């Protein structure tokens, strides 16, 4: 619903804040679902551990949902994360909106995304430790949605 809201309204920092927190909760939820099973082979006394873990929920990477999220990620590159827009947002000094948008961008496109790197460097130059700490948490726990969708498409 938040993704639809991004398309339907003039955006404000609160919408991006909620969207970023959803991604972070999703990452933490998927990490909690890590499954560990004991495998026993006949004749062996020592059980072996088998770990099955994929932090990208199938909801994002399969069927129609994958196509929708792929399209959203593609459209948002031009609508919300364009370099022209970034320049004006950085010049405006409205760091709250920029902070939450870059947190979302890291979850959508990964830390390698140019938008993420430029904003992070911008806040490093301002030496804003609170914002950097917030962003680092999101960047380190990013689900990298678009990257994972593309990898899934390459496997098909």
Residue 10: pLDDT over 80: no
pLDDT digits (tens, 9 = 90+) for 109-131: 999 999 999 999 999 999 999 99
Residue 50: pLDDT over 60: no
pLDDT digits (tens, 9 = 90+) for 58-78: 777 677 888 888 888 898 999
| Helix ranges, the chain (H) | 2-8, 13-32, 58-61, 63-79, 83-92, 95-109, 114-126, 129-140, 145-155
Distances (CA, A) of 146 to 1, 23, 31: 18, 13, 19
The residue-averaged pLDDT of 11-39 equals 71
Cα angle, residue 65 at apex, residues 31 and 75 outer, rounded to 5°: 100
pTM of the model: 0.78
Residue 140: pLDDT over 60: yes
Q: What percent of the chain is modeled with pLDDT above 70?
A: 74
Find residue 50's DSSP bridge partners.
37
CA pseudo-torsion sign 56, 66, 14, 111: positive
């Amino acid at each position: 619903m938040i993704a639809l809201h991004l398309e339907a309204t003039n955006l404000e920092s609160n919408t991006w804040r909620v969207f970023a927190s959803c991604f972070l909760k999703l990452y933490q939820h998927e990490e909690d679902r890590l499954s560990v099973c004991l495998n026993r082979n006949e004749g062996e006394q020592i059980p072996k551990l088998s770990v099955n873990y994929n932090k990208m929920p199938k909801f994002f990477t399969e069927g129609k949902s994958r196509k929708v999220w792929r399209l959203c990620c593609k459209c948002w590159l031009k609508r919300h994360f364009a370099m022209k827009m970034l320049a004006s947002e950085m010049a405006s000094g409205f760091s709250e909106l920029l902070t939450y948008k870059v947190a979302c961008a890291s979850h959508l496109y990964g830390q390698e995304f140019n938008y993420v790197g430029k904003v992070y460097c911008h806040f490093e130059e301002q030496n804003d430790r609170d914002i950097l700490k917030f962003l680092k948490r999101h960047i380190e726990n990013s689900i990298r949605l678009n990257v994972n969708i593309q990898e899934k498409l390459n496997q098909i």
